Amino acid sequence: GTGGAFQYGLQVSIINSPAEYIKSFIRETWLKRYSSSPSEEIVTLMWSFIVSIYSIGGLLGSLSAGYLSVRFGRKKAMLFANIPALLSAALMGLSRLCGSFEMIIAGRLFSGVCGGLALNIHLMYAGECAPRNLRGLIAITASTATAVGKFVGFALGLREVLGVDALWPILMSANALPALVQLFTLPFFPDSPRYLLIDKKDKEGCI
């Protein structure tokens, strides 16, 4: 759940707190580039791109989940989801240093890809690995992890934590931590028995 549904919940909620700081960053960057202040319509348009492009990334990630889960297996597909997560964290974390609000837009796109891919694979992997008597309980881990991710996102966005002007790039790149945790721990977990039996024809490995 750390790199699956948790990532989705985190990215959905984390964008709310630094809204005004990012808008100010867009104004500052625009002024430095073009020696004129952007209109409020332009700032609103750029902010709308930042917020909404996450859904486009989520769609792309969701559409690729089926192919990747069959081609590489559920576990490896979840590991692949960490690549766009880390890329998005790097882009958004360095956006202020590089003076580019476009990096935030690109970062949100990649984080959406991670969220869409990881959420779908999470559901498949957890459901297929769970014993039959625990399958119903395991199925709710996705919604639970999403809720926890949202809570953590809101908590990190508090002014007492990372919700200040100087720290919003760190806040936006917070998804790197769960991605790294999953990257180093998931390889020790078994692959889905269903994948091993049906897709890999490995009868011994699925037992």
Minimum mean pLDDT range among 7-16, 132-141, 181-190: 132-141
The total domain count for the chain is 1
* Percent of the chain with pLDDT strictly greater than 90: 73
Say which amino acid occupies 196: L
205 within a domain of the structure (yes/no): no
Q: Is the pLDDT of residue 156 over 90?
A: yes
**Residue with the two structure tokens 């917020």:** 51
Is residue 123 situated within a structural domain? yes
Structural domain includes residue 206:
no
Determine the distance from the C-alpha atom of residue 176 to the mean position of all C-alpha atoms in its chain, rounded to a whole number: 9
Q: Which amino acid is at 156?
A: L
- Residue 50: band (very low, low, confident or very high) from pLDDT cuts 50, 70, 90: very high
71 and 101 in contact (C-beta within 8 Å)? no
Phi-psi region of 164 (alpha: psi -120 to 50; beta: other; left: phi over 0): beta
Residue 204 lies in a domain: no
> Domain with 60 in it: what CATH number?
1.20.1250.20
Per-residue model confidence (pLDDT) at position 205: 54
* Mean pLDDT for the chain overall: 90
Q: Return all residues near 110 (Cβ < 8 A) that are at least 6 apart.
A: 57, 84, 85, 87, 88, 91
Angle separating helix axes 40-71 and 19-34, nearest 10 degrees: 110
Token couple for 99: 């003076």
- Is the pLDDT confidence value at 15 over 60? yes
Domain residues for the domain of 72 are: 5-199
In this structure, the dihedral spanned by the alpha carbons of residues 72, 73, 78 and 81, taken in order and rounded to 10 degrees, is: 20
Predicted pLDDT at 200: 62
Per-residue pLDDT, averaged over 46-63, amounts to 96
Query: Considering the domain boundaries, does residue 61 fall inside one?
Result: yes
Q: Is residue 14 part of a domain?
A: yes
Sign of CA dihedral 194, 199, 205, 207: positive
| Length of the chain in terms of residues written | 207
Higher per-residue pLDDT: 199 or 58: 58
Mean pLDDT along residues 98-104? 97
